Amino acid sequence: MAAKVIAGTPVEVNEEGYLVDASQWNRDMATEIAREVDIQELTDDHWKVIDFLRRDAEEKGGSPTIRRLKKAGGIDTKLLYELFPGGPLKKATKIAGLPKPASCI
């Protein structure tokens, strides 16, 4: 594990840069992490995804799949790919301060 400062807060991240402790996450961190993965601005649609991911992970105990995002979160898959290009679930969970989903390589 490595130490890193995100939005002025020291945190532990794994070898891929995902937060080790999701409880350390805050919205300012999300904005900074988004820039690191080439998303310059988080829109209301981005926040809808991020907020659902965090709620669902808290309730279910893990990062949801894209299918769950669509079914339970009401998030259109096409929109998800537009919002988080080049690996939507990987990028979205990283920005949300959650572990990398098991379904992502």
Summarize pLDDT for 4-37 with one digit per residue, the tens. 999 999 999 999 999 999 999 999 999 999 999 9
CA–CA separation, 89 and 80 (whole Å) = 8
- Please give the tally of structural domains in the chain: 1
Residue positions annotated with a catalytic role: 104
Q: Is residue 26 part of a domain?
A: yes
Q: What range defines the domain where residue 79 resides?
A: 2-95
Helix then strand then coil, in percent of the chain rounded to 5, is: 50, 10, 40
Of 60, 81, 84, the C-alpha closest to 72 is 60
Flag whether 105 is in a domain: no
Residue 10 lies in a domain: yes
At 31-85, the pLDDT tens digits run 999 999 999 999 999 999 999 999 999 998 878 888 888 888 888 999 999 999 9
